[in-house]
Amino acid sequence: MDMDLTHTRNIGVCAHIDAGKTTVTERILFYTGKNYKLGEVHEGTATMDFLEEEQDRGITIQSAATTCPWTRNGEDYKVNLIDTPGHVDFTIEVERSLRVLDGAIAVFDGKEGVEAQSETVWRQADRYNVPRLCFINKMDKLGADFEFSFRTIKERLGANPIAVQYPIGSGNELEGIIDLLAMKAYYFYADEKGAVVTEKDIPTDLLDKATEWHHKLVETAAELEDSLMEKYLEDESTVTADDIRAALRKGAIELRCNPTFCGAALRNIGVQRLLDGVIDYLPAPDEVPNVEGTHHRDPDEKLTRPNSDDAPLSALVFKVVNDAHGDLTYVRVYSGVLKKGSRLLNPVNGKKENVSRIFEMHAQNREPLEEAGAGSIVAVIGIKDSYTGDTLCDADDPIVLERMSFPEPVISMAIEPHGSDDKRRLSEALATIRREDPSFSSHFDEETGQTIIAGMGELHLEIIKNKLTRDMKVGCDVGKPRVSYRETIQGPANNIRGKFVKQTGGRGQFGDCTINIEPYTQEQAEEEGLKFKECIAFKNGIVGGAIPKEFIPSVEAGVRQTALAGITAAYPLINVKVTLIDGSSHAVDSSQVAFEQAGRLALQQAVAKAGSVLLEPIMKVVVTSPEDYLGNITGDLNSRRGIIVSTEDRGHVKMVTAEVPLSKMFGYTTSLRGMSQGRATSTMEFLEYRAMPASMAKEVIEAG
């Protein structure tokens, strides 16, 4: 499928859990001819949910990539498609997929409209400036309401949705869709799995409604394009469907609007027209801004690469998957041509990498390629030392592309191998999982002799536990999940000296530094241009060479290692700025080790003076429940130290948004089920770290 860039689309399907992302993807694969039978999530036969864990649970856990063909107006196109998870514990999969995509389909439940995780996904797409189409799915569901869902996209996301379709009926009576550009009705016949689409005139009972929405479409499209506005003001009837399509395309690519479609993927209604919309409104790789990066030796020197095969090669690693035949490294090629057998540079770690094989992926199946041009998303074998977020580029013309930001784990648990063989296997397995999943971390606790694994939520850790025991055959015992707390300081502390002097028989050790510390945030770091690594910013304020240049990185290393290990309660210290202001050295006795120790002592004393406070992860919890159970649910959330932020009506149900400490949320799903006779549902995502009440902090410190 050799295609020029204008006939390529790199898109993702993303949404709240259970909005129907994977079902939409399965229909896309069926209608593009990539699959010859329909896979179903509820039957465990979905192509893109190929992990055993995904099929058992009926949810997507890891993003899956595929490539499929589509013909629009007689022209052939190639669509690189990524299906992403909806559960908040796997938000990293969405993050890294959006980083490399040129466009996305945001799927919404036709009854629920915008839900909690929809907002998270939308914000992630905003961060990476990804143009989006909206697809209001499940219009066949009892209580589905297109106009309500459309309104929530506008009100809750602050987006500019523009309806290009309107449903014919809803619930069990959903028959098809009205194309508001062509003002025609389209019916999808179930006998033919929706593959046969019939065009008819709009039903008379819907003509007024369709005319009203068509007028809104023309009006909002005209606002996107000055020349179209003139035409519209002179005579609305002269505005053609092609005029509207061009204005919407321009607006969507410039992130000023979101063309909105509707249908029911499970009933095979509307998916082909959605694919047409992908071609019509989402950008080709050469229509997005040139990728930006920095010089590998000077992070302040900005570089760009054009979206062209003729430019030097630049590619971003966005996913690593352990495979029986070696690690599969997924890359997005931004410029140049990636060739089989080529040797590339990873400018992040300075290592050279060999590309032994290239594959075009179709979920777990693969098709070998000789080369991949700009705009391609492919998997590569042979890469040894490059991980998610790393750049691969031409060794003669290096560039470092912008990395992704990964959330800090908020929950941890202890894991102990059964014997020496299991200990070795566990070590190898954890290294493999860390390579695959940047939101997972593990470390060995010297004091307890336990291995601690940490992740984004209970489900995340449960999946990892099953992967270790079931897939990787590691014999181990697993403890109960524990909250990952953090420390920070209450105020500034200035002129704190750390002096390390050790005299032995021969050469001694001498390191001396003076620091200031103050509370600090990511936003402040960005404004001041400081690197905010592991939530600590370090600034060298030495003037006049009080400490020789070669020892300053040692002071920073000592500060960072100490912050990571924790000071008051052995939890990592975060949101602190450390400024090195003075110091002294000894011509003979000073060494890197001595200055590391001096940095460690200075930080310990500074934190003691500034006063430390324990922080706990606070979760944003959204509960959807019938009104009958509202009192019990809000009372229960209050008893968990929760703060009710809002309660709103969503049709026949109430939606409660609360902020609750993670430590009080273990087993909440089971508890909620019991309180509501199984009729309430909840979602939970990490919100922020917040100071704990002093009495509870004391308990945690004493227990830990």
**Which stretches of 237-324 are assigned E, i.e. beta strand?**
258-262, 291-294, 302-305, 314-321
Q: Rounded to an integer, what is the distance from CA 52 to the centroid of its chain? A: 22
Q: Which amino acid is at 472?
A: M
Residue-wise burial string across 418-454, b where 16 or more C-beta atoms lie within 10 A, e elsewhere: eeeebeebbeebbebbebbbbbbbbeeeeeeebbbbb
Q: Could you tell me the two tokens for 521?
A: 């945030």
**Which pLDDT value is given to residue 447?**
60
Q: How far is CA 284 from CA 10, 94, 253, 308, in A?
A: 7, 20, 10, 12
599 and 648 in a single domain? The answer is: no
Total domains present in the chain: 5
Boundary residue ending a domain (244, 270, 287): 287
137 and 235 in a single domain? The answer is: yes
480 and 496 in a single domain? The answer is: no
3-state secondary structure 370-420: CEECCCCEEEEECCCCCCCCCEEECCCCCCEECCCCCCCCCEEEEEEECCH
Can you list the pairs that 526-533 forms with residues at least 24 positions away whose Cβ atoms lie under 8 Å? 530/577, 533/560
pLDDT profile of the chain (704 residues), mean per 10: 74 80 80 54 40 44 70 88 63 74 92 81 86 95 92 92 94 91 87 72 94 94 89 84 93 95 91 93 91 85 90 90 77 92 92 91 77 89 88 92 77 84 88 83 74 81 84 83 88 94 81 94 81 82 87 93 86 92 90 94 95 91 87 93 90 86 85 83 83 86 71
564 and 632 in a single domain? The answer is: no
Range of the domain at 352: 291-401
The label of the residue with tokens 């089989």 reads: 340
**Which pLDDT value is given to residue 613?**
92
597 and 690 in a single domain? The answer is: no
Under 8 Å between Cβ of 345 and 393: yes
The 3-state DSSP class for residue 74 equals coil
Query: Residue 536 contacts by C-beta under 8 Å, 6 or more apart in sequence?
Result: 559, 560, 563, 573, 574, 576, 577, 578
Handedness of CA 383, 369, 99, 121 (dihedral sign): negative
163 and 207 in a single domain? The answer is: yes
Q: How far is CA 269 from CA 105, 207, 245, in A?
A: 16, 20, 22
676 and 554 in a single domain? The answer is: no
Which CATH number does the domain housing residue 697 bear? 3.30.70.240
Give, for 351, the enclosing helix (H) or strand (E): strand 351-354
**Which pLDDT value is given to residue 45?**
41
The label of the residue with tokens 């080529």 reads: 342
Torsion angle, alpha carbons of 57, 63, 66, 67, to 10: 140
Cβ burial of 238 (10 Å; 0-12, 13-18, 19+) is exposed
Question: Quick check: pTM over 0.95?
Answer: no
Q: What is the pLDDT of residues 522-539, one digit of tens each?
A: 788 878 877 777 778 999
Boundary residue ending a domain (484, 517, 548): 484
In a domain, 406, yes or no: no
74 and 193 in a single domain? The answer is: yes
The 3-state DSSP class for residue 102 equals coil
119 and 197 in a single domain? The answer is: yes
> Any bridge partners for residue 199, and if so which?
186
Which CATH number does the domain housing residue 245 bear? 3.40.50.300
Q: Could you tell me the two tokens for 494?
A: 């200035």
Boundary residue ending a domain (224, 252, 287): 287
Give, for 196, the enclosing helix (H) or strand (E): none
